[in-house]
Structure 1
């Protein structure tokens, strides 16, 4: 009985192998860009949408005045676009740099007033600051094993920002907050690679946090005097179109 059972198992394995082997051969034939991981470097295009605000730290003078009862940063969304350069260090690790990365953003502030401004009747005032930021992130990326035409990755890095639309040098006529031109910070995120025949499409979500105080404080402005620090916060939803093709 054991001999017959052993023979049946051997026959079943041979028959199963006959079906499984062509299936694996077909799977290998359907893998797109099979030599992509052997490329030392490649480039890509980035398109996306971001939502951002400023994290606000109140100044000590905020408690010593009674005209402004509260100030909050509000989220607002804009688009971003750029060019990415990726250097593959190994099967698992990459270094990424963005030589061109343009981020359009808008930061909003809501002030709750105890008394309305002169000539106005509202007790809630909203201000907004438009920004066009040239951002240069440098990231380290950790990749998972490739499963067919799919892969997941995580990333972390640092960035340096330069605001082309900074209002730090403007006059005080509009009574607006002013922000500095430069900022630096940290980033972290997760993404997915979908390998197509000629290109890799990678949706990615990333959190960006500014470390420097970008508030150009002006004691003569009541809306600026109540704020000590402004730190940028941003969530970016991006779609990467990464280069495939030959080595």
Structure 2
């Protein structure tokens, strides 16, 4: 009987301890300061984004690829880049917002690796040649955002939309382009992603990740160039991670 009473007493002490900790936790949550409580009343607000991207080409071979004997394989590869953007957000209601990103400046790198059957030593070619395709993209994405309820100083949102891009370094008109992959100036695409709002006393920090896919063929094909003639279509594929600061 004595052991039974001691066990019950021990259980009551543990239960009381857990209850005290739970009540203390609930009180601390209830007393947590709500930052920027009037921000949801803003009809329009601004932000700035710091971005890192990893991008590649979605490649389609030209029908004449199998009939030539200089290039055996063409492989697109991922490469990293960075960017900056201005954020303009218009609130429609409690759940939905329209967001325009302008200006968006992305420094993007996409590599193509060629496996050559007969390298030309006069041109310092090797069996495996990597062509680095660099782009400076001036973009204008527009998104429709869907927001969850705010939980204290935290919120989740999802978005989808489209984009227009202009390549400031387009070399589609270059004449001496034997070693170049020439790209067109314009591209249209679709984007979708998810983000998280963390509210602080004077700003909102939003880590965000999105998929950005180009819809147009940006390859300016030249049938007379070895590195270009084997390719029919090049479409941009990009994953962008952003840190957005809004106020």
In structure 2, relative to structure 1, the CA distance for the partners of 1:37 and 1:219 (3 Å cut) is same
Whether contact under 8 Å (2:43, 2:91) holds in the other structure is yes
User: Could you report, residue by residue, the CA deviation over 1:122-144 in whole angstroms, capped at 9, with x for unpaired residues?
Assistant: 21011111111000000001111
The count of residues paired between Structure 1 and Structure 2 equals 225
In structure 2, relative to structure 1, the CA distance for the partners of 1:188 and 1:21 (3 Å cut) is closer
Q: Secondary structure at the match of 2:40?
A: helix
Consecutive aligned runs of 4 or more in structure 1 exceeding 4 Å deviation: 18-25
User: What is the Cα-based RMSD across aligned positions, in Å?
Assistant: 1.9
Aligned ranges for residues 1-247 of structure 1 at < 5 Å? 26-27=31-32, 30-119=33-122, 120=124, 122-243=126-247
TM-score by length of structure 1 reads 0.87
User: Could you report, residue by residue, the CA deviation over 1:21-40 in whole angstroms, capped at 9, with x for unpaired residues?
Assistant: 9667523xx01011111110
Runs of at least 5 residues in structure 1 that lack an aligned partner in the other structure: 1-15
User: Could you report, residue by residue, the CA deviation over 1:168-211 in whole angstroms, capped at 9, with x for unpaired residues?
Assistant: 11123443110000000000001100000000000000100000
In structure 2, relative to structure 1, the CA distance for the partners of 1:35 and 1:124 (3 Å cut) is same
In structure 2, relative to structure 1, the CA distance for the partners of 1:46 and 1:175 (3 Å cut) is same
TM-score by length of structure 2 reads 0.87
Whether contact under 8 Å (2:112, 2:132) holds in the other structure is yes
What is the CA-CA distance between 1:121 and the residue it aligns to?
Answer: 5.7
2:6 maps to which residue?
none
User: Could you report, residue by residue, the CA deviation over 1:1-33 in whole angstroms, capped at 9, with x for unpaired residues?
Assistant: xxxxxxxxxxxxxxx9x9899667523xx0101
Whether contact under 8 Å (2:45, 2:90) holds in the other structure is yes
Aligned partners of 1:129, 1:138: CA distance in 2, in Å?
26
Runs of at least 5 residues in structure 2 that lack an aligned partner in the other structure: 1-19
User: Could you report, residue by residue, the CA deviation over 1:21-75 in whole angstroms, capped at 9, with x for unpaired residues?
Assistant: 9667523xx0101111111010000001111111100000101112111101111
In structure 2, relative to structure 1, the CA distance for the partners of 1:91 and 1:118 (3 Å cut) is same
